[in-house]
Structure 1
């Protein structure tokens, strides 16, 4: 049986924190509990806890010990939310939510999105837009650009408001086709006026505000079917978990 290392222990508690099982302010298990749970030495347990502290997951609190840290400037990717949804049934960590869900049928005017979807520029696509929030503050403007062929299978894509269950699960159930995703692509550009308004960034009209942008392309057996574009509020850290 493989021996448990300190990185394995850190990964265990990192996921519990990411999934919201351990919330900010919660006390971490004692060193004795960790050594007994994983049958490791106190040195190994200490190394795991030092790793979590270095990564910003935990902090030392006088009179309490090690507690889960508050990470207001850290926001997960869309892919990480889906993985969390599959693990726990909930895509959000404590304090996180999504608002302003809007669906529309539009001509694709972005050459990069058209290329990722394998369509011609100005072909129609389904666009679903929402804003993610943490403790009430907007963190991410998220855009789903969906190939028009998906609409024949999931007409609910044009329904306003949040879709439950996640539309890809409905697509898989109705077609039997698996949907996979490509690695996330990270870049930066200047935010447009609509994005700044949605993120509640108050700057002069002429101000140039750089933002982190993530693209994630999803595929089924017939080719690309969806592209996610996530635009992060300035000053936030992004983690894939």
Structure 2
């Protein structure tokens, strides 16, 4: 059996929490079980436990053992959501949901979107929008800017409401073209009024509120096909898969 370091064990357990395989209140494997599963000493297993506890991800519950802590102010990144979907087939863990699904076709005048999708100013794109929630509290506004060529094969993307299956999977099934993604890019800017409204941030009109923004670009063999923009509610911590 391959040997693992404590950081690798902690990372594996952390990913199980992010993917919903271990949910708040669930008991994580005991020290003995960790030793057997990963082929490590009790010292290594205990260091992994201490790491997760220091991150606020676990706590000791009398009579039960070490359990997963609630994470009311943490939010997965777009890459983490996608990795979870690919590994488990589930878009959300128990305390997560998405609401206010909207879709529209519109001309694009956003310079970032124009640059990432390699389109002309005012060229039409598909815009899909939804609000991600944890324990019914908005943690991010998700915007998907999709190149109009995707409409030929997946016309459903222009319809409001959640899709039965992730549209990129439908696209690959119908075209045989695989879609890959760029690393996430992070920046900060002032939120627009409609973003603050969607995130339910109570501020006076026209107040300047800085927000974290994550961008992920997706490609097929013909070039960029989608840009994700996640705008995060102030005060939430982001969880990635790294």
Q: CA RMSD in A?
A: 1.3
Q: Which residue of 1 aligns with 2:150?
A: 150
Query: Do structure 1's residue 15 and structure 2's residue 12 form an aligned pair?
Result: no
Q: C-alpha separation between the residues in 1 aligned to 2:112 and 2:20?
A: 35
Q: C-alpha separation between the residues in 2 aligned to 1:203 and 1:15?
A: 35
Q: C-alpha separation between the residues in 2 aligned to 1:7 and 1:116?
A: 35
Q: Which residue of 2 aligns with 1:192?
A: 192
Q: Secondary structure at the match of 1:139?
A: strand
Flag structure 2 segments of 5+ consecutive residues without an equivalent.
none
Greater mean alpha carbon deviation, residues 98-107 or residues 9-18:
9-18
TM-score scaled by length of structure 2: 0.95
Q: C-alpha separation between the residues in 2 aligned to 1:167 and 1:55?
A: 35
Q: C-alpha separation between the residues in 2 aligned to 1:89 and 1:209?
A: 35
Q: Which residue of 2 aligns with 1:237?
A: 237
Instruction: Give aligned pairs, total.
Output: 241
Q: C-alpha separation between the residues in 2 aligned to 1:114 and 1:173?
A: 27
Which residues of 2 match residues 43-54 of structure 1 at below 5 A? Answer: 43-54=43-54
Flag structure 1 segments of 5+ consecutive residues without an equivalent.
none
Q: Which residue of 2 aligns with 1:215?
A: 215
Q: Which residue of 2 aligns with 1:120?
A: 120
Q: C-alpha separation between the residues in 1 aligned to 2:62 and 2:189?
A: 42
Q: Give the Å deviation of 1:62.
A: 4.3
Q: C-alpha separation between the residues in 1 aligned to 2:63 and 2:55?
A: 22
Contact 2:180 2:219 in 1 (8 A): yes
Q: C-alpha separation between the residues in 1 aligned to 2:198 and 2:164?
A: 23
Query: Do structure 1's residue 90 and structure 2's residue 78 form an aligned pair?
Result: no
Q: C-alpha separation between the residues in 2 aligned to 1:39 and 1:203?
A: 53
Q: Which runs of 4+ in 1 moved over 4 A?
A: none
Q: Which residue of 2 aligns with 1:183?
A: 183
Greater mean alpha carbon deviation, residues 230-239 or residues 5-14:
5-14
Q: Secondary structure at the match of 1:26?
A: coil
Q: Give the Å deviation of 1:4.
A: 2.2
Q: Secondary structure at the match of 1:101?
A: strand
Q: C-alpha separation between the residues in 1 aligned to 2:147 and 2:37?
A: 48
